[in-house]
Amino acid sequence: MSAIGVGQAAILGVVEGLTEFLPVSSTGHLKITEGLMNIPVDDKAVVGFTAVIQVGAIAAVLVYFFRDIVRFASAWGRGIANKSERDSHDYKFAWWVIYATIPIVIVGLLAKPLIDGPLASLWVVAGSLIGGSIVMWVAEQMARFKRGEDEITLKDAMIVGSSQILALLFPGFSRSGATISTGLILDLDRLAATRLSFFLSIPALTGAGLYELKDATGGGVDTISLVVGTVVSFVVAYASIAWLLKYVAKHSFNLFVVYRIIIGILLFSLLGTGVLEA
């Protein structure tokens, strides 16, 4: 019997697609949803499933930003072949995304027993939702919006890329929340910080999904459920990306801060009263 049914997979696909790129924590919302559906959040197959359906959300990024990705990849290829092309910002940016992914890969491999074990607790999720909200609020106060995407440096990419570790270790913190907030603290404007977050998500989440695939398929989740969850995630994530880019152009992230705090307090209440198991 599959650890996750097709209907459950579709629901989790919707949750993943809606929350992967919004600064509200997809991992946190997935774990809460799994808990409400009595799916064991620390089961290896379930952990693997949630990582795999993230690939659907990443596919949405690849499609939405296809022209940008082709531009970066072309510049990178030209630079590899010709030294005279290596001064272009696009060539450098492509390398920076690669470099900025290295810290999260190292920590992810070394800390995997903790990530899949004690840190998978819903108590951690609740605390991280509130803790991440504080970071986002502070970032809003510190933001000066002085620099656009063309002014992003290697230092920016490395610092923002490394901030993904917070979401890796503390489910509920939010990868997009951590990266966008860090970008704002570094004085990037909202659109530049958000787009950088999207580009950094591609290698990080794709790698995690492929790495976890063996646990999802070999541990009790059938192929149909995986496909359904991934496809639903793709469709919903594409719409979420389009909405978020329009939203950040004119609004702060305070709405998400309030929402996260409410969800965090609600989760603490559900855990404390025994309605949910950690």
pLDDT tens-place string over residues 157-201: 999 999 999 988 998 898 899 999 999 999 999 999 999 999 998
Instruction: Record the tokens describing residue 221, joined without a space.
Output: 């989740």
* Mean pLDDT (whole number) for 124-142: 94
What pLDDT, on a 0 to 100 scale, did the predictor assign at position 172? 86
Name the token pair of 24: 């509200």
Give the HSE-up count for residue 238: Cα atoms under 13 Å, Cβ half-sphere.
13
DSSP letters along 97-150, please? HHHHHHHHHHHHHHTHHHHHTGGGSHHHHHHHHHHHHHHHHHHHHH----B-GG
Share of the chain above pLDDT 90, in %: 58
Nearest CA-CA partner of 32 in 12, 18, 17: 12
What share of the chain has pLDDT > 70, as a percent?
A: 95
Average pLDDT of span 42-58: 81
Which tens digit of pLDDT belongs to each residue from 87-132? 999 999 999 999 999 999 999 889 888 887 888 888 998 999 999 9
For residue 38, CA distances in Å to 32, 33, 64, 218 come to: 10, 9, 34, 21
> Residue holding tokens 């970032």?
139
Scan for tokens 């097709």, then name that residue.
6
Arithmetic mean of pLDDT, 211-220 = 62
State the average pLDDT over residues 39-68: 84
Within 13 A of 179's CA, how many CA atoms are on the CB side?
32
| Position 1 pLDDT exceeds 50 | no
CB atoms within 10 A of CB 278: 15
d(CA 166, CA 225): 29
Give the chain's mean pLDDT: 89
User: Would you state the structure tokens that stand for residue 33, as one six-digit string?
Assistant: 């949803």
Torsion of the alpha carbons at 218, 222, 225 and 229, rounded to the nearest 10? 10
Q: How far apart are the C-alpha atoms of 92 and 61, rounded to whole Å?
A: 20
